């Protein structure tokens, strides 16, 4: 795979981390390098929903320096666990399941960044190779802080930079029901140029598996990032005929 432009992907502590991992896989398969940031609550949800990090997670113990100078979360162990989860939860007939060597080549297409590392290159608008960012899933807490311009961690700062540089920011909230604070924060972000894409799947494509539902949302996120894809079945229009019994 060839590295070209890159995207930032943030996974926060809302339910639905499988959507974030699905987008990671899709971006890599489209030959984009991914700067992945997982919040500490995000790691907790990964453990709860996908049985990842069963041995616990210690941010300080796992931080070290990568080749490009960014602290990453266990440059091998945690990345391998993420790849294993993608393989377990999101891969069936894909070519990446054919061999460990082919699958592990994906590891070179993303870095796992410490959310506390505000000195990362993606915290600056000078990172011109970054085309955009997606927060999948986005908790209401992260959404509120991004909407208010609070750059308390790398997720919030990177989102702020993407907005100020007029690049594409896709925020995927996963919460229900919504109160007026949630709605006002979403409107504030929308007014600032973000795309608000709730993780609400459609059913006109008649999904038969959880993977079908996840693929639908992944495809919609790629659409919002202006990335061509055929991951999900698109609505082709109604032909005006009913099936008669």
* Cβ-contact 64, 113 below 8 angstroms: no
CA pseudo-torsion sign 181, 184, 185, 186: positive
pLDDT at 61: 39
d(CA 68, CA 215): 32
Local mean pLDDT, 10-residue blocks, the chain (245 residues):
82 97 95 95 93 68 45 63 87 57 79 92 94 98 97 97 98 97 98 98 93 96 97 85 55
According to the model, what pLDDT value does residue 102 have? 64
What values do phi and psi take at 91, rounded to 5? -120, 125
Architecture of domain 6-224: 3-Layer(aba) Sandwich (3.40)
Which pLDDT score, from 0 to 100, does residue 241 have? 62
State the pLDDT at residue 91: 75
Q: What is the pLDDT of residue 187?
A: 98
Q: Where do the domains of the chain lie?
A: 6-224
Q: What pTM value is reported for the model?
A: 0.87
């Amino acid at each position: 795979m060839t590295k070209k432009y890159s995207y930032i992907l943030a996974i926060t502590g809302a339910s639905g981390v499988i959507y974030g991992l699905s987008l990671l896989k899709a971006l890599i398969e489209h030959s984009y390098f991914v700067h992945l940031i997982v919040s500490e609550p995000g790691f907790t949800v990964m453990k709860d929903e996908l049985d990842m990090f069963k041995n616990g997670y210690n941010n300080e113990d796992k931080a070290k320096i990568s080749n490009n100078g960014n602290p990453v979360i266990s440059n091998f162990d945690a990345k391998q666990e993420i790849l294993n989860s993608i393989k377990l939860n999101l891969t069936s007939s894909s070519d990446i399941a054919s061999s460990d060597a082919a699958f592990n080549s994906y590891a070179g297409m993303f870095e796992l960044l410490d959310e506390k590392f505000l000195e990362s290159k993606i915290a600056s608008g000078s990172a011109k190779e970054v085309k955009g960012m997606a927060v999948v899933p986005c908790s209401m807490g992260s959404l509120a802080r991004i909407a208010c311009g609070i750059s308390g961690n790398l997720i919030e700062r990177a989102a702020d930079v993407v907005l100020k540089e007029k690049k594409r920011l896709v925020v995927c909230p996963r919460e229900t029901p919504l109160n007026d604070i949630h709605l006002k924060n979403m409107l504030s972000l929308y007014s600032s140029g973000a795309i608000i894409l709730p993780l609400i799947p459609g059913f006109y494509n008649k999904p038969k598996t959880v993977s079908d539902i996840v693929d639908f949302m992944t495809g919609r996120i790629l659409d919002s990032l202006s990335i061509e894809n055929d991951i999900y079945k698109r609505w082709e229009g109604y032909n005006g005929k009913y099936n008669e019994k």
